[in-house]
Amino acid sequence: MLQLPEDIFNPTMIDMRYRRKTNIIEYGGKVAILRYRDLNTKGMMKLWVMEDAEKNRWWSKTLVLDSSQIPIVHKINLLLHSTTRNGEVMFLITRSRTRREVLEPRPQNTALFYIFLYDLQKNHMRKVEVKGTPNGYLTKFFDVAGLDDVENLIYL
């Protein structure tokens, strides 16, 4: 049984909005927890890594984007999707579920599809444009599979 670090949830984290921005990931072959609730506002994330499961020993660090990278994610609602073999965390843009607006196929609504890759070791975020994708505003459902998730492209 995995016992979470004591400081991972505090009384201010009762709100589900904060819990949604906390995920279990793999970091250097170890179980880790990444909280990214402040990524799109302050450029900050908190990482906890399980050092010793038997003794329930965790270490943690706060990750802060370089000030030049904060505009990449500023006020963009991101969702943690997965981690890659290279140790990068993949984020996707997600739409707010609280807004009730109808998007019409106009030039400003035909945005390209992007993924965001964050290198935990180098503390570097990059925005990757995925070309040749359908308009995300006209498609209700979609999923992303990183190449790390595919063993052989021939079967796709």
pLDDT at 155 over 60: no
Residue 53 pLDDT: 84
Residue 99 pLDDT: 46
Query: Could you give the CA distance from residue 76 to residue 95 in angstroms, rounded to a whole number?
Result: 9
pLDDT for 105-124, tens place per residue? 444 444 567 889 999 999 99
Residue spans of the domains in the chain: they are: 11-134
Residue 76 pLDDT: 84
Closest residue by Cα to residue 24 from 15, 33, 16, 11: 33
Residue 72 pLDDT: 87
pLDDT at 140 over 80: no
The structure's pTM equals 0.71
* Rounded average pLDDT over 57-85: 89
How many angstroms separate the Cα of 4 from the Cα of each of 45, 48, 58, 81, 126?
17, 9, 9, 21, 30
Residue 93 pLDDT: 83
